[in-house]
Amino acid sequence: MAEIKQERRLGLLQATAINMTDMVGIGPFITLPMVISMMNGPYFLYAWLAGAVLSMVDAMVWSELGAAFPMAGGSYNFLKETYGKNGLGRLMSFLFVWQTMIQAPLVIASAAIGFAAYFSYLLPLTPIESKMMSGGIVICIVALLYRKIEDIGKISVLLWGAVILTLFWIIGGGLAHGNFLQPIRDVNNGITLNYAFVTAIGFASVKSVYSYLGYYNVCHLGGEIINPSKNIPRSMFLSIAGIAVLYLMMNVSVVSVIPWHVAKDSQFVISVFMQQLAGPTAAKVVTCLVLVVAFASVFSATLGYSRIPYAAAADGAFFKVFARLHPTGKFPYVSLLFLGGIAFVFSLLFKLSDVISAILAMRILIQFIAQSVGLILLRKVRSANDFPYKMPFFPWPVYLAILMWAGILISTGTTMVAGGLVAIVTGAVVYFIKAKLNKEWPFNAETQSN
């Protein structure tokens, strides 16, 4: 039987659309009041700027690795290459897939739970009805993704259009009817650059960074991107720059109509904002658009994550069943169905407030910090020609990214940090048992010597 391979069918527009639809899910609409509440002042905009800066710096790391290793799986391949295919890289890449099998369904479930929570503005739901809706969203997403990649690219562009339309309407409402410049003039009112302010930025950035996550989704689809050495970095930087401008303008627009001290306590702040501007019908319409955006985010995130177990299995480092591609659509259907199934269960079990910090704590150590350190190690042993994209001022952006991610990790709280460490230790134990049984590194003298 001939091997089925993935094909490069996604261009820059589609890659950028996939990134942006993943980034702008339900996150910015539900975290907007959270960020204001944590900052407790008109200077809350700095938390959104901090999230943009961190994302842009970290995107330099992803761009170097994504352009050098444009394959399905993203960080799985990056960790394997940076720490050594026949050595520590085996453990690090396994740990990434291990935590992905937990945190990817958490990400998918968080967007589905957020969808159900925001839907209650239109029609109040009982707890059981809310769970049924979030589970149904996951099922619907899996059904839509069960098709060939070029069709998914078209769907992504359509959903991206809904994202942009929603944000532009919110921003336009503030420009037309609010005192749009006032929040910008007031941004430094009452600000004091002390330990309390830095601490508040740290805690608020946990929520704002959550709303930027997804700028690297294109790296998980590296094997399906046209001209990846250029389109992978470009799509990330375009996504972050565009989303940062839109987030800042949306926040300014909302608080130009609803004072920040009122907005911080509003569960449906966008709907309330539009109701105050244009009445209840407009509020319901914008609520529907927010729900479309949330749906688009789940769609994009699930698409990217489904490629990670596939990449590991195709490489012989994970269960072989996950390496199967659909015979006609050429997409990893086993991986898609498995992650969708776990996300469905999570959407029935957890609350949204439980998962945002957990998602970040699980990712930071193995994914963000570990691959940043790995890039520094890789740059020492590889030729400059192996990196089609090279970040400016290397290695300082990498050091800055590590420092900022460490700060975000601490801000998630000791419970979440402990949970992330438990997941890593458990994964390491499973790996070493598997390696012992299969005579893999470090129990294989041949791989140890390479």
Q: Which tokens in the block code for residue 280?
A: 């209840």
CA separation for the pair 349, 35 (Å, rounded): 25
Domain 12-448 has CATH 1.20.1740.10: yes
Assign residue 193 a region: left if phi > 0, alpha if psi is -120 to 50, beta otherwise? beta
Contact at 8 Å (CB) between 307 and 217? no
Distance CA(351)–CA(176), nearest Å, equals 37
How many C-beta atoms surround the C-beta of residue 66 within 10 A?
Answer: 31
Q: Which of 237, 242, 309, 238 is nearest to 74 (CA)?
A: 309
Which residues are paired to 225 by β-bridges? 10
Does the pTM surpass 0.95? The reply is no
**Bridge partners, residue 46, by sequence:** none
Rounded Cα distance between 247 and 269, Å, is 14
Contact 49, 269 (CB under 8 A): no
403: nearest Cα among 195, 205, 210 = 205
Q: Angle formed by the axes of helices 352-363 and 414-438, to 10°?
A: 60
- Of how many residues is the chain composed? 450
* pLDDT at residue 220 in the model: 87
Residue ranges per structural domain of the chain: 12-448
Q: Longest C-alpha distance within the chain, in Å?
A: 72
Which tokens go with 53?
A: 């800066």
Identify the residue whose tokens are 């927010």.
290
Adjacent-strand bridge partners of 10? 225
**Can you give the pLDDT of all 450 residues of the chain as single tens digits?**
445 566 788 899 999 988 988 788 777 888 899 999 999 999 999 999 999 999 999 999 999 999 999 988 889 999 999 999 889 999 999 999 988 888 889 888 888 888 898 899 999 999 999 999 999 999 999 998 898 777 777 777 887 888 888 889 999 998 888 788 899 999 999 888 888 888 899 889 888 988 998 899 899 889 899 999 999 999 999 999 999 999 999 999 999 999 999 999 988 999 999 999 999 999 999 999 888 888 887 787 788 889 888 988 888 888 789 999 999 888 899 999 999 999 999 999 877 666 667 777 878 988 999 999 999 999 999 998 999 999 999 999 999 999 999 988 888 888 888 888 888 899 999 999 989 988 889 997 555 444
